[in-house]
A and B are shown apart, each in its own frame.
Chain A
Amino acid sequence: MKIHDSGDVLTISNIKELAAGNSDSFREEVRAAVPSGVKAIEIDLSDTDFVDSCGLGALISVYKFVNSRNGPVPVRLVNPAPSIQQIFELTRLHRIFEIVKSE
């Protein structure tokens, strides 16, 4: 997993999966990397081929963390695979996270 802080936007990428086996470490690493005053979080799911309920919990935890510290901060999920996007839609989490398709 890679974390890049450009000042206003924290970008997390190279995530192979978000599942029970790594969701705790994902949550802790991202929370530790969130700078004060961050304007947006972008989580690149291009390389992610699996998300389970623990992974969803980790994403929700990150969302609640940044929004409790810095006011309204969008958390964008970039390029999720169709099967993963379906999970966000089934759980209605696409109303919480911004799902972004980039080139």
Chain B
Amino acid sequence: MSTRDMRRRVRSWGRRQLYSFFSSLGALVSHRLSTLMTSLVLGIAMLLPLGLFVTVENLRSLDLQQDNWGTITVFLQAGATKPQALALAARVEEQHAAIISVVSPEQGMQEFQEASGFGQALDLFEENPLPWVLQITLQAAAGETLEMAVRAMSDWLGDQDSVESVQADFKWLQRLAGLLALGDAFVTVLTVLFSLAVVVVVANTIRLDVANRAHEIEVMHLVGASNGFVRQPFLYLGFWYGLLGALLALLLLSLCMAYLSRPLEELLDAYGNTFEFRGLEARAGLLVLLAGGVLGLLGAWVSVQRYLRQFRLEGK
């Protein structure tokens, strides 16, 4: 085949694509109501996993704000002295990057008086009953979770002679991490299920479309259309359905968030949290649109392959 021949073929291929593209758009526009309803079903199907995903991501960001959840409080024995406390702090620092504050019994008493409001009652104690205290906030290093680091450090501290007791919030960390992992798993399950739903809904819609246009398909075959040419507008149509569905899902998501964000922020503010409800990033949004389109295309493909076979006119 000469290059000129080749170029001519590519151009006519391009024009056929253009024709399919516009004919699929025409089909969408001429059936506005059914297009809207199909897209809405798809949008709602996509909204469910998306909504859960956004919720889980927001919980995760909440976790990051609560970095004092990784703080270990170490109470030394009653008789422990300042050098012992400082020595222990030094040894902790040798092992792990951490912010350590050493609280003397006097400082502790003062803080307690201010915070508790027991002020004068505490003066009744003849001597300060508080021990030396270390507050250790670990910095998670790369490749380990904060939870693991906190657990290891707590165990080590508990074995030291001068230590009376160790308190760590890693149970909370553990629970939150567990909840987030569960949330992630839910997102995965819902994504798979609802992706399947999108494919099936599009496949069924396209199937009806193919059936409604049986006459048109027959005529196109009779005047020399290839299977590819007949298939193309339906594939585009599937893509449009998926894309519109994703667009509606994103729209619905932002509507839901706008509705929920005020009460949610007020609630969390009441718990002393500065919290900002965050939606999807632009890149994630684009990815959702793309995924919607691809799923729609897939649904159309499944349907068209199956239902065009019955219109194939040439023999075996």
Q: Is B truly associated with A?
A: no
